[in-house]
Chains A and B, each alone.
Chain A
Amino acid sequence: MPVFIGKRLLVAIPTLLIISIFVFSLQKLLPGDPVLAMAGEERDPAVLELLREKYHLNDPIPVQYVNWLGGVLKGDLGISLRTNQPVLELIGEKLPVTIQLAIMAMIFAFAIGVPMGILAAVKKNTVLDYIASIVALSGLSVPNFWLGIMLILLVSVNLGWLPASGYESIFVDPVRSLQTMIMPAFVLGTALAATLMRHTRSAMLGVLSADYIRTARAKGLSPREVVLSHSFRNALLPVITLTALLFGELLAGAVLTEQIFTIPGFGKLIVDAVFNRDYAVVQGVVMCTAVGFILMNLIADVLYVLLNPRLRASL
Chain B
Amino acid sequence: MNGLLRLTTALALGVLSALPAFATELKIGLQDDADVLDPAQSRTFVGRIVYTAMCDKLVDVSPDLKIVPQLATGWKWSDDGLKLVMTLRDGVKFHDETAMDAAAVVATIERNMTLPESRRKSELSSVEKVEATGPLEVTFTLKKPDVTLLAQLSDRAGMIVSPKAAKELGANFGSKPVCAGPFKFVERVQQDRIVLEKFKDYWNKDNIFIDKVTYLPIPDSTVRLANLRSGDLDMIERLAATDAQAVKSDPKLKYEAVVNIGYMALYANIANGPRADNPFGKDKRLRQAFSLAIDRDALNQIVYEGTAVGGNQPFPPNSPWYNKAIPVPARDVEKAKALVKEAGFDRVPVEMQIPNNPVAQQMMQIVQSMVAEAGFDVSLKSTEFATLLDEQTRGNYQLSRSDWSGRVDPDGNIHQFITCKGGINDTKYCNPEVDKLLNEARASTDDAVRKQKYDAASVILNDDMPIIYLGHQSWIWALNKSVTGFVPAPDGMIRLTGMKKGG
Q: Give the residue name and chain of the B residue nearest to A53 (CB).
A: B116
Using C-beta atoms within 8 Å of the partner chain, give the interface range for chain B.
35 or more
A31, A83, A93, A272: the one contacting B36 at CB < 8 Å is A83
Q: Evaluate contact between A164 and B122: CB separation under 8 angstroms.
A: no
Q: Chain A's nearest CB lies how many Å from the CB of B240?
A: 13
- B190 proximal to A (CB < 8 A): yes
Inside 8 A of A39's CB, which chain B residues have their CB?
43, 119
| A156 touching B389 in the complex, CB below 8 Å, given contacts A38-B43, A262-B216 | no
User: In whole angstroms, what is the CA distance A31 to B116 when docked?
Assistant: 27
Q: Evaluate contact between A163 and B232: CB separation under 8 angstroms.
A: yes
User: In whole angstroms, what is the CA distance A212 to B3 when docked?
Assistant: 81
Q: Chain B's nearest CB lies how many Å from the CB of A115?
A: 32
A32, A82, A93: the one contacting B389 at CB < 8 Å is A32
- A242 proximal to B (CB < 8 A): no
Q: Give the residue name and chain of the A residue nearest to B42 (CB).
A: A42
Q: Evaluate contact between A36 and B230: CB separation under 8 angstroms.
A: no
Inside 8 A of B390's CB, which chain A residues have their CB?
31-33, 36-37
Inside 8 A of B172's CB, which chain A residues have their CB?
84
B122, B232, B391: the one contacting A165 at CB < 8 Å is B232
Per-residue interface assignment for chain B, residues 65 to 79, with 1 indicating a CB less than 8 Å from any chain A CB and 0 otherwise: 000000000000000
Q: Evaluate contact between B232 and A164: CB separation under 8 angstroms.
A: yes
Q: Give the residue name and chain of the A residue nearest to B32 (CB).
A: A272
- B279 proximal to A (CB < 8 A): no
Q: Evaluate contact between B43 and A275: CB separation under 8 angstroms.
A: no
Q: In the complex, which residues 301-353 of chain B have their Cβ closer than 8 Å to any Cβ of chain A?
A: none
Which segment of A5-13, A43-51, A195-203, A223-231 sits at the interface?
Answer: A43-51
Inside 8 A of A42's CB, which chain B residues have their CB?
43, 119, 122
Q: Evaluate contact between B386 and A37: CB separation under 8 angstroms.
A: yes
Inside 8 A of A43's CB, which chain B residues have their CB?
389, 393, 423-424
- B433 proximal to A (CB < 8 A): no
Q: Evaluate contact between B405 and A41: CB separation under 8 angstroms.
A: yes
Per-residue interface assignment for chain A, residues 54 to 74, with 1 indicating a CB less than 8 Å from any chain B CB and 0 otherwise: 100000000000000000000
User: In whole angstroms, what is the CA distance A157 to B192 when docked?
Assistant: 21
User: In whole angstroms, what is the CA distance A34 to B389 when docked?
Assistant: 11
Q: Evaluate contact between B190 and A167: CB separation under 8 angstroms.
A: no
Inside 8 A of B226's CB, which chain A residues have their CB?
149, 152-153, 156-157, 164-165
Q: In the complex, which residues 212-228 of chain B have their Cβ closer than 8 Å to any Cβ of chain A?
A: 216-220, 222-223, 226-227
Inside 8 A of B389's CB, which chain A residues have their CB?
32-33, 36-37, 43
A30, A47, A160, A259: the one contacting B231 at CB < 8 Å is A160
Inside 8 A of B229's CB, which chain A residues have their CB?
156-157, 164
Inside 8 A of A166's CB, which chain B residues have their CB?
192-193, 216, 227, 232
Inside 8 A of B193's CB, which chain A residues have their CB?
166
Q: Evaluate contact between B217 and A262: CB separation under 8 angstroms.
A: yes
A37, A45, A262: the one contacting B423 at CB < 8 Å is A45
Q: Give the residue name and chain of the A residue nearest to B189 (CB).
A: A264
- A241 proximal to B (CB < 8 A): no
Q: Evaluate contact between A156 and B424: CB separation under 8 angstroms.
A: no
Q: Give the residue name and chain of the B residue nearest to A90 (CB).
A: B190
- B121 proximal to A (CB < 8 A): yes
User: In whole angstroms, what is the CA distance A159 to B46 when docked?
Assistant: 31
User: In whole angstroms, what is the CA distance A152 to B223 when docked?
Assistant: 8
User: In whole angstroms, what is the CA distance A281 to B432 when docked?
Assistant: 45
Q: Give the residue name and chain of the B residue nearest to A276 (CB).
A: B386
Q: Evaluate contact between A36 and B386: CB separation under 8 angstroms.
A: yes
Inside 8 A of B207's CB, which chain A residues have their CB?
none
- B191 proximal to A (CB < 8 A): yes
User: In whole angstroms, what is the CA distance A47 to B384 when docked?
Assistant: 23
Inside 8 A of A264's CB, which chain B residues have their CB?
189-192
Q: Evaluate contact between A40 and B43: CB separation under 8 angstroms.
A: yes
Q: Evaluate contact between A268 and B191: CB separation under 8 angstroms.
A: yes
User: In whole angstroms, what is the CA distance A43 to B118 when docked?
Assistant: 13
Interface centre among B223, B229, B231, B389 (most CB of A within 10 A): B223
Q: Evaluate contact between B424 and A165: CB separation under 8 angstroms.
A: no
Q: Chain B's nearest CB lies how many Å from the CB of A154?
A: 10
- B44 proximal to A (CB < 8 A): yes
Inside 8 A of B424's CB, which chain A residues have their CB?
43
Residue pairs across A and B with Cβ atoms less than 8 A apart, 13 shown, are A31-B391, A33-B393, A34-B386, A36-B390, A45-B423, A47-B121, A54-B117, A157-B226, A163-B227, A164-B223, A262-B218, A262-B220, A277-B386
Instruction: Return the 7 tightest CB-CB contacts between A and B, nearest first.
Output: A32-B386, A37-B386, A264-B192, A264-B191, A156-B230, A32-B387, A164-B227
Instruction: Beyond the given A40-B44, A163-B230, please list 12 additional residue pairs across the A-B interface where CB-CB is below 8 A.
Output: A31-B390, A36-B386, A36-B389, A38-B43, A42-B122, A45-B423, A54-B117, A152-B230, A165-B227, A260-B220, A262-B218, A268-B191
